[in-house]
Homo-oligomer: A and B are copies of this chain.
Amino acid sequence: MEPIVLVHGGAGDIPDSRVSLKITGVKKAASLGYKVLKNGGSVVEAVEEAVKSMEDDEAFNAGYGSVLNLDGDVEMDASIMLGSNLLSGGVTVVKDIAHPISLARLVMEKTPHFLLAGAGANRFAKEQGVPSVPPGSLVSKYAKEALEHFMKYGDNGTEMSGVGEVGTVGAVAIDSKGRLAAATSTGGITGKMAGRSSDTCIIGSGTYADDNVGAVSTTGHGESIARFCLAHAIIYEMRNGSSASEATAKALKEMKGRLPNTAGAITISKSGELGIDFTSRRMAWAYQVKDEMHFGIEHGQHTKEKV
């Protein structure tokens, strides 16, 4: 089977001015993830590497550049899952860590637990020797402006307001032996309450991987995704016989019919089929196959270019 790392850089009402930054970022992440697999790395390493590169990139709402809560702080969520044994790890409302996805992986590999929250997650990071960054250093100028706009005008508390960053990031990967993994990382939504957890840290909502079925990473309005269990719903549609593409479209459509907000998802089936879909205005995505990069951000867009 051809190894693939498919990434997304967030679904939502992405302003025109942010489109090219996002496309550059997802292409870079897809390329880095693909290199890991081509060099014999595992699917977990591949999704971690892809997500880390977007956590470092101010164009996305994860790691550096995360949106701010009502206190003006960055609190981040991430999760990662391995499809062979359903092992997973996650962190929620973690602060002052450059790469929440790497901490999520440590939760998976070094603890008997699947999710650590708040101060406990930061304490675990310290115990594991994960360096903390100075308070405030993950705050970007763009995120500050978005919070100021939120405080002045308010909005509906969703990622769909067109204000601030909407780029939760994620990756799904399959290797030549059909092993699957998924990873997702986010700063949440601008103007969230301190302590607000998101779908992104939750297995079944933000992230899922099962070698018997497929792997999924989602993005969009977290509260709606969590209540709909979007990642697990897509997995079940595949179990019921839908292709990756059909399952992704079907679950997203049903979610939109039941709940007032939009979302997007990327999916790989156990046979390597891809599903890329979103009910939001835009979602940045990319994957590399051999020397060809595939990417898009608009509905119906599927651009290919040699790399």
Contacts and interface: CB of A to CB of B under 8 A. Distances in A.
Contact of A227 (B88, B229, B258): B88
Interface string A57-77: 000000000000000000100
A151 interface: no
A236 interface: yes
Given A86-B258, A93-B120, A115 B203 contact: no
A288 to B, nearest CB: 29
A57 B232 CA distance: 34
Interface string A186-229: 00000011111110001111001000000000000011001111
Interface string A249-272: 000000000110000000000000
Nearest to A158: B112
B196 A113 contact: yes
Contacts of A117: 92-93, 117-118, 195-197
A223 B114 contact: yes
Interface string A264-292: 00000000000000000000000000000
Q: Is the interface of A mostly helix, strand, loop or mixed?
A: mixed
A240 interface: yes
Contacts of A93: 117-118, 120
B227 A86 contact: yes
12 contacts: A92-B92, A92-B197, A112-B157, A112-B223, A114-B223, A114-B226, A115-B198, A116-B196, A119-B194, A120-B196, A203-B226, A208-B229
Given A118-B120, A118-B195, 15 more contacts: A92-B92, A92-B117, A93-B117, A111-B193, A112-B223, A114-B197, A117-B117, A119-B119, A119-B194, A203-B205, A203-B229, A204-B226, A204-B229, A204-B232, A208-B229
